[in-house]
Structure 1
Amino acid sequence: MTQPASKPPRKSAVSRHVDPSQRDLFQLDSPLIGEIRGERSLMAFPFFALAKSAWMKPVSYHQGPVSIEVRPSANGVATIYDKEIVLYIASLMAAKIEAGEQVGQDFRFTAHDLFAVTGSNQSARSYKRLSDALERLQGTQIKTNIEAGGEGEEGFFSWLSEARLHYSKTRNGEKRLKAVQVRLCDWLYRAILRDRQVLDYASTYFQLGPIERRIYEVARASGPDVPGQEFCVDLETFRLQIGYQNPLSNFRTALKQVTGTGAIPDYDVELVEGEAPAETTRGRGRKAAPVNVIITRRAAEPDEVQEQESESPESGEEGACEEAVRSS
């Protein structure tokens, strides 16, 4: 895949104010300056469970040359909401690389800034969820044949090889969280540092539900970048790529609730039902008609039109939908 063109970081609409009580910390990587970024493979493939609560079953994906196995810890598989922390760390790392700074695998940041970026409130419940998420990210075991930074790995790894919460204590003995310290796994560190396949996320991503998040990520990683162009894939292949664990009929129902709503940032989603195949065997019912998912890039905002026009390839997209389905 070609490396996406780099763009200057846009100012985020999220407040970057740092709590005065945390200003005495040194060597912090927060606050995040710029936009949320994600590594392309983590966008394209289902590494996280589509759940709000603990998901205790293994997650697997085996399609074409790509193989992924995810095993739960005692607290379950890392979820799509736990992934917010991984995206935040990846964004800190990408911002440092873009600024020409040296970057290692250890990151130290404030929960205050993480919550500001992801839109979480500052309640005690949010801090408990943060602690649980860090445990799942450290405990979940991943095995994949996707290479990162020109290297492959055999065996399992975790998203975070270390995760710590640093507290101070008030005079009355109350704990006050000062910083979060993590060590990013070798696999993802190499992918971001060497491959540079890092894409920006829409600012409304954290407001989406689990399925909508995955639809957006797959569209962003695999779909068209030019307004009006389409990406087409059969329903079952799309279900697997999204990481939806329930039957295909349930996925179709869930997808119908998304189509036509404009809920997916930058993309429109449509379900198209083809003709049912002719009956070939006496006494057997007709096979179900094939269903395809068509994802179309929406028209760009006015300030982006000029940039995209300069990058637009020549026309010639007839038959692209059918070809995408055959090659999926």
Structure 2
Amino acid sequence: MSRPPRPAAPFPARPARAPAKTPQGELFQLDSPLTGEVRGERSLMAFPFFALSKNAWMKPLAYQHAAVSIEVRPSAKGVATIYDKEIVLYIASLMAAKIDAGERVEQDFVFTAHDLFSVTGSNHSARSYARLSEALERLQGTQIKTNIEAGGEGEEGFFSWLSEARLHYARTRSDERRLKAVKVRLCDWLYRAILRDGHVLDYAATYFQLGPIERRIYEVARSTCEAGPDGIARLEIDLATFRLQIGYQNPLANFRAALRQIAAADAIPDYRIELIEGEAGEDAPAPAAGEGAGAGRRGRRASPARVIVTRRPVALPDGPAGSGQIEADPTESDA
């Protein structure tokens, strides 16, 4: 059944956005450029839906903890990665901006690759355009199954992030192809979650400069840290559960080593990471017979390693210069 024509969006009503121009001969109107903040849906921040890899990840992903289950199956091009997720965040941000502006929001979005690259900090090289095509293919081909409800509805079976993804080209006089726009259709699950639930949070401006693990740590912190009695947002979690929620696929020892480096670098925007480890090590073996005091007795297992994530205090903008006044930044209302 054909869809009703979409009315032209009142772009001139947005002071920060120039009127969108529909090129002659085109049948669509651009939803870009994005002029607001980059925002994402809370469930996509909290749980591991994407592979932490730049290269093709061909193995299925699974998450099962408490009442939440997620299963992700790869396409012939692999599982959608944390870098492919940039496109999903961009689309979610366009959608949130439309909702804020009181515009009609459908599942189809048309934007320029140039604006996407500008927002995510990618260069505008030919390789970036090739990676865009590959990312769209993975987002459309990756299959996701979850019991997380969206918009008051649950789904049985699998869905893809994009049910449609097309690159629209025009021919130059030299018969070269020039990308005009990207057209995508957002999946029902994410569309309902943003439109009906409204659990959308903004991202730090430096998010796209982070590595894969750092991106996930930031997302988990941003979506799950809760303010305590002291007003400071904090998350305390055991290392094994934190690894599961980050979606790290290598052994726990590797994750521990990576987390030590990340905590030492202290580069997660808005949050501070602390790794608390037992003195003897989480999996310290018992001493062998004849190895000194306590030989022959079963070794005492150290407490599991813990991770503490704390929201950084924010300086009061109107405080006196040099006063050092700070306040805890509340975790924040949904957009």
Q: Place the TM-score, normalised by the shorter chain, in its bin.
A: 0.7 to 0.9
Check the 8 A contact 1:164/1:181 in 2, yes or no: yes
Supply the distance in 1 between the matched residues of 2:57 and 2:298 (Cα, whole angstroms): 39
1:302 corresponds to which residue?
Answer: 316
Check the 8 A contact 1:275/1:290 in 2, yes or no: no
1:231 corresponds to which residue?
Answer: 235
Supply the distance in 2 between the matched residues of 1:83 and 1:310 (Cα, whole angstroms): 27
Supply the distance in 1 between the matched residues of 2:318 and 2:68 (Cα, whole angstroms): 34
Over aligned residue pairs, what C-alpha RMSD do you find? 3.0
Residue 208 (structure 1) aligned with residue 222 (structure 2) = no
The code of the aligned residue for 1:299 comes to P
Supply the distance in 1 between the matched residues of 2:93 and 2:74 (Cα, whole angstroms): 25
Q: Post-superposition shift, 1:310? A: 9.8
1:8 corresponds to which residue?
Answer: none
Of the candidates 32, 52, 55, which is equivalent to residue 53 of structure 1? Answer: 55
Share of identical aligned residues, percent? 71
Q: Post-superposition shift, 1:285? A: 4.1
The CA deviation string for residues 22-45 of structure 1, in whole angstroms up to 9 with x for no partner, is: 865651100001100000000000
Cα distance 1:101–1:304, how it changes in 2: closer, same or farther (>3 A)?
farther
Supply the distance in 1 between the matched residues of 2:246 and 2:275 (Cα, whole angstroms): 15
2:317 alignment partner, SS class: helix
Supply the distance in 1 between the matched residues of 2:76 and 2:51 (Cα, whole angstroms): 15
The code of the aligned residue for 2:183 comes to Q
The CA deviation string for residues 205-256 of structure 1, in whole angstroms up to 9 with x for no partner, is: 0000000000000000001368744210000000000000000000000000
191-200 or 258-267, which moves further after superposition? Answer: 258-267
1:185 corresponds to which residue?
Answer: 187
Residue 141 (structure 1) aligned with residue 143 (structure 2) = yes
Residue 132 (structure 1) aligned with residue 134 (structure 2) = yes
Question: Which ranges in structure 1 are unaligned for 5 or more consecutive residues?
Answer: 1-10, 314-328
2:255 corresponds to which residue?
Answer: 251
1:43 alignment partner, SS class: helix
Supply the distance in 2 between the matched residues of 1:233 and 1:30 (Cα, whole angstroms): 39
1:258 alignment partner, SS class: helix
Cα distance 1:200–1:304, how it changes in 2: closer, same or farther (>3 A)?
farther
Question: Which ranges in structure 2 are unaligned for 5 or more consecutive residues?
Answer: 1-14, 287-293, 320-324
Supply the distance in 2 between the matched residues of 1:215 and 1:57 (Cα, whole angstroms): 22
2:42 corresponds to which residue?
Answer: 40
2:168 corresponds to which residue?
Answer: 166
Q: Post-superposition shift, 1:273? A: 1.9
2:173 alignment partner, SS class: coil
The CA deviation string for residues 5-25 of structure 1, in whole angstroms up to 9 with x for no partner, is: xxxxxx99xxx89999x8656
Question: What TM-score does the superposition give when structure 1 sets the normalisation length?
Answer: 0.84
1:67 corresponds to which residue?
Answer: 69
Residue 157 (structure 1) aligned with residue 171 (structure 2) = no
The code of the aligned residue for 2:267 comes to A
Supply the distance in 2 between the matched residues of 1:308 and 1:31 (Cα, whole angstroms): 34
Question: What TM-score does the superposition give when structure 2 sets the normalisation length?
Answer: 0.82
Q: Post-superposition shift, 1:290? A: 1.4
2:275 alignment partner, SS class: strand
1:106 corresponds to which residue?
Answer: 108
Cα distance 1:17–1:308, how it changes in 2: closer, same or farther (>3 A)?
farther
Supply the distance in 1 between the matched residues of 2:30 and 2:277 (Cα, whole angstroms): 52
Supply the distance in 1 between the matched residues of 2:159 and 2:45 (Cα, whole angstroms): 18
Supply the distance in 1 between the matched residues of 2:233 and 2:178 (Cα, whole angstroms): 50
Check the 8 A contact 1:273/1:291 in 2, yes or no: yes
